[in-house]
Amino acid sequence: MILGYKELRKSRKKIVVIYTCSILKISEIDIHGKGWTVVRKNIGFRSWFYFRTGWSMYFAFILSAVNTLTVTYYLAIERVPVLKEIFPSFVHYVVIFAIIGVPILITTGLIHFKKTSARKAEVDISVETNPYQLRNLVNSELILNLNIKLSKIVLDSEKGKKIDEKDLKQLQGIVDTTEEFLENRTVTKERDLEFFRRINASGRL
Protein backbone atom coordinates (compact mmCIF):
# COMPACT_ATOMS: atom_id res chain seq x y z
CA MET A 1 0.00 0.00 0.00
CA ILE A 2 1.44 3.35 -1.09
CA LEU A 3 0.71 6.27 1.22
CA GLY A 4 0.10 9.80 -0.06
CA TYR A 5 2.04 12.82 1.20
CA LYS A 6 -0.55 13.82 3.84
CA GLU A 7 -0.96 10.24 5.07
CA LEU A 8 2.82 9.89 5.29
CA ARG A 9 3.13 13.06 7.39
CA LYS A 10 0.37 11.86 9.75
CA SER A 11 2.00 8.45 10.12
CA ARG A 12 5.35 10.07 10.94
CA LYS A 13 3.75 12.25 13.59
CA LYS A 14 2.11 9.17 15.14
CA ILE A 15 5.46 7.35 15.14
CA VAL A 16 7.14 10.28 16.92
CA VAL A 17 4.39 10.47 19.56
CA ILE A 18 4.37 6.70 20.14
CA TYR A 19 8.17 6.59 20.27
CA THR A 20 8.32 9.42 22.80
CA CYS A 21 5.64 7.89 25.02
CA SER A 22 7.31 4.47 24.90
CA ILE A 23 10.53 5.93 26.30
CA LEU A 24 9.02 8.10 29.02
CA LYS A 25 6.48 5.81 30.62
CA ILE A 26 3.70 7.22 32.74
CA SER A 27 4.81 5.14 35.71
CA GLU A 28 8.29 6.62 35.39
CA ILE A 29 7.11 10.21 35.13
CA ASP A 30 4.71 9.96 38.06
CA ILE A 31 6.33 11.15 41.29
CA HIS A 32 5.09 8.12 43.21
CA GLY A 33 6.16 5.64 40.57
CA LYS A 34 2.85 3.78 40.96
CA GLY A 35 0.86 4.98 37.97
CA TRP A 36 -1.82 7.64 38.04
CA THR A 37 -2.83 9.16 41.35
CA VAL A 38 -5.93 11.20 42.08
CA VAL A 39 -5.55 14.27 44.27
CA ARG A 40 -8.54 14.53 46.59
CA LYS A 41 -9.72 17.93 47.68
CA ASN A 42 -9.60 18.19 51.46
CA ILE A 43 -11.79 21.19 52.27
CA GLY A 44 -10.48 21.54 55.81
CA PHE A 45 -6.77 21.68 55.00
CA ARG A 46 -7.33 23.69 51.82
CA SER A 47 -9.28 26.28 53.82
CA TRP A 48 -6.51 26.31 56.43
CA PHE A 49 -3.94 26.95 53.70
CA TYR A 50 -6.03 29.78 52.22
CA PHE A 51 -6.51 31.25 55.70
CA ARG A 52 -2.77 31.26 56.41
CA THR A 53 -2.06 32.78 52.99
CA GLY A 54 -4.63 35.55 53.46
CA TRP A 55 -3.38 36.27 56.97
CA SER A 56 0.35 36.26 56.26
CA MET A 57 0.23 38.11 52.94
CA TYR A 58 -2.45 40.71 53.69
CA PHE A 59 -3.85 41.08 57.21
CA ALA A 60 -0.58 40.46 59.03
CA PHE A 61 1.16 43.02 56.83
CA ILE A 62 -1.54 45.66 57.37
CA LEU A 63 -1.74 45.11 61.12
CA SER A 64 2.06 45.09 61.40
CA ALA A 65 2.31 48.39 59.53
CA VAL A 66 -0.38 50.02 61.69
CA ASN A 67 1.27 48.70 64.85
CA THR A 68 4.74 49.93 63.80
CA LEU A 69 3.48 53.41 62.91
CA THR A 70 1.48 53.71 66.13
CA VAL A 71 4.26 52.54 68.43
CA THR A 72 7.01 54.60 66.82
CA TYR A 73 4.93 57.77 66.84
CA TYR A 74 3.35 57.70 70.32
CA LEU A 75 6.31 56.11 72.16
CA ALA A 76 9.18 57.82 70.34
CA ILE A 77 8.39 60.74 68.07
CA GLU A 78 5.76 62.34 70.32
CA ARG A 79 8.25 62.49 73.21
CA VAL A 80 11.03 64.14 71.19
CA PRO A 81 10.39 67.87 70.60
CA VAL A 82 12.51 68.05 67.45
CA LEU A 83 10.71 65.14 65.81
CA LYS A 84 7.38 66.49 67.06
CA GLU A 85 7.99 69.67 65.06
CA ILE A 86 8.65 67.61 61.91
CA PHE A 87 5.63 65.38 62.49
CA PRO A 88 3.04 67.57 64.27
CA SER A 89 0.35 64.88 64.11
CA PHE A 90 -0.01 61.19 63.54
CA VAL A 91 -1.61 61.82 60.15
CA HIS A 92 1.40 63.87 59.01
CA TYR A 93 3.69 61.07 60.18
CA VAL A 94 1.76 58.41 58.23
CA VAL A 95 1.66 60.50 55.04
CA ILE A 96 5.37 61.39 55.15
CA PHE A 97 6.30 57.82 56.03
CA ALA A 98 4.26 56.51 53.07
CA ILE A 99 5.80 59.03 50.64
CA ILE A 100 9.36 58.18 51.70
CA GLY A 101 9.04 54.61 52.97
CA VAL A 102 7.06 53.01 50.14
CA PRO A 103 9.64 53.85 47.41
CA ILE A 104 12.45 52.69 49.70
CA LEU A 105 10.70 49.36 50.33
CA ILE A 106 9.98 48.89 46.62
CA THR A 107 13.63 49.59 45.78
CA THR A 108 14.76 47.16 48.47
CA GLY A 109 12.51 44.43 47.06
CA LEU A 110 13.78 45.13 43.54
CA ILE A 111 17.38 44.85 44.69
CA HIS A 112 16.57 41.61 46.50
CA PHE A 113 15.17 39.99 43.36
CA LYS A 114 17.34 41.56 40.65
CA LYS A 115 20.67 42.71 42.08
CA THR A 116 21.67 40.15 44.72
CA SER A 117 22.14 36.39 44.94
CA ALA A 118 19.61 36.11 47.76
CA ARG A 119 16.68 35.25 45.47
CA LYS A 120 18.77 32.75 43.49
CA ALA A 121 19.65 30.98 46.72
CA GLU A 122 15.96 30.81 47.67
CA VAL A 123 15.04 29.30 44.30
CA ASP A 124 17.90 26.79 44.46
CA ILE A 125 16.81 25.64 47.90
CA SER A 126 13.19 25.40 46.76
CA VAL A 127 14.16 23.19 43.81
CA GLU A 128 16.52 21.02 45.84
CA THR A 129 13.98 20.39 48.61
CA ASN A 130 10.84 19.99 46.46
CA PRO A 131 10.85 16.55 44.77
CA TYR A 132 7.77 17.39 42.67
CA GLN A 133 9.26 20.54 41.19
CA LEU A 134 12.65 18.91 40.74
CA ARG A 135 11.20 15.90 38.94
CA ASN A 136 9.15 18.13 36.64
CA LEU A 137 12.29 20.04 35.65
CA VAL A 138 14.20 16.84 34.95
CA ASN A 139 11.30 15.33 32.96
CA SER A 140 11.01 18.53 30.91
CA GLU A 141 14.72 18.45 30.12
CA LEU A 142 14.57 14.81 29.03
CA ILE A 143 11.52 15.34 26.82
CA LEU A 144 12.90 18.58 25.35
CA ASN A 145 16.21 17.03 24.30
CA LEU A 146 14.45 14.03 22.80
CA ASN A 147 11.87 16.10 20.90
CA ILE A 148 14.48 18.50 19.49
CA LYS A 149 16.48 15.63 18.03
CA LEU A 150 13.35 13.88 16.69
CA SER A 151 12.07 17.14 15.17
CA LYS A 152 15.39 17.70 13.38
CA ILE A 153 15.28 14.20 11.91
CA VAL A 154 11.64 14.61 10.80
CA LEU A 155 12.34 18.02 9.21
CA ASP A 156 15.36 16.67 7.33
CA SER A 157 13.23 13.76 6.15
CA GLU A 158 10.48 16.14 4.99
CA LYS A 159 13.04 18.05 2.92
CA GLY A 160 14.12 14.86 1.21
CA LYS A 161 17.46 14.72 2.99
CA LYS A 162 18.97 11.41 3.97
CA ILE A 163 19.01 10.84 7.70
CA ASP A 164 22.51 11.50 8.94
CA GLU A 165 24.20 8.66 10.78
CA LYS A 166 25.54 11.19 13.27
CA ASP A 167 22.00 12.31 14.14
CA LEU A 168 20.92 8.71 14.65
CA LYS A 169 23.85 8.09 16.99
CA GLN A 170 23.03 11.24 18.95
CA LEU A 171 19.38 10.18 19.17
CA GLN A 172 20.40 6.72 20.32
CA GLY A 173 22.68 8.32 22.91
CA ILE A 174 19.80 10.40 24.28
CA VAL A 175 17.56 7.33 24.37
CA ASP A 176 20.20 5.26 26.17
CA THR A 177 20.85 8.05 28.69
CA THR A 178 17.13 8.47 29.33
CA GLU A 179 16.46 4.76 29.72
CA GLU A 180 19.45 4.29 32.05
CA PHE A 181 18.31 7.23 34.15
CA LEU A 182 14.71 6.01 34.39
CA GLU A 183 15.70 2.44 35.22
CA ASN A 184 17.73 3.60 38.22
CA ARG A 185 15.28 6.27 39.31
CA THR A 186 13.53 5.89 42.65
CA VAL A 187 10.85 7.82 44.51
CA THR A 188 13.57 9.75 46.32
CA LYS A 189 14.97 12.91 44.78
CA GLU A 190 18.69 12.04 44.83
CA ARG A 191 18.87 10.85 41.22
CA ASP A 192 16.87 13.83 39.99
CA LEU A 193 19.04 16.22 41.99
CA GLU A 194 22.20 14.65 40.61
CA PHE A 195 20.85 14.88 37.06
CA PHE A 196 19.73 18.48 37.56
CA ARG A 197 23.14 19.52 38.89
CA ARG A 198 24.85 17.84 35.95
CA ILE A 199 22.80 19.60 33.27
CA ASN A 200 22.95 22.86 35.25
CA ALA A 201 26.75 22.69 35.22
CA SER A 202 27.24 21.59 31.61
CA GLY A 203 24.07 22.93 29.98
CA ARG A 204 23.44 19.59 28.25
CA LEU A 205 22.56 15.93 28.89
Residue 63 belongs to a domain: yes
The domain in which residue 60 lies consists of: 43-124
Per-residue pLDDT of the chain (205 residues; tens, 9 = 90+): 444 444 434 554 444 444 444 444 444 444 444 444 445 678 889 999 999 999 998 999 899 999 999 999 999 998 899 999 999 999 999 999 999 999 999 999 999 998 888 888 888 888 777 777 777 878 888 888 888 888 888 888 888 777 778 888 888 888 888 887 777 776 566 667 777 676 666 555 5
Which residues does 138 contact at the CB level (< 8 Å), separation at least 6? Answer: 192, 195, 196
The answer on 109 and 65 residing in a single domain is: yes
Distance CA 87, CA 28 (A): 65
Task: Catalogue the long-range contacts made by 61-67 (C-beta closer than 8 Å, 24 or more residues apart).
Answer: none
The answer on 117 and 47 residing in a single domain is: yes
The count of domains in the chain is 2
The answer on 134 and 186 residing in a single domain is: yes
The answer on 137 and 91 residing in a single domain is: no
Residue 113 belongs to a domain: yes
Distance CA 26, CA 179 (A): 13
Last residue of a domain, one of 103, 124, 145: 124
The answer on 116 and 51 residing in a single domain is: yes
Distance CA 98, CA 104 (A): 10
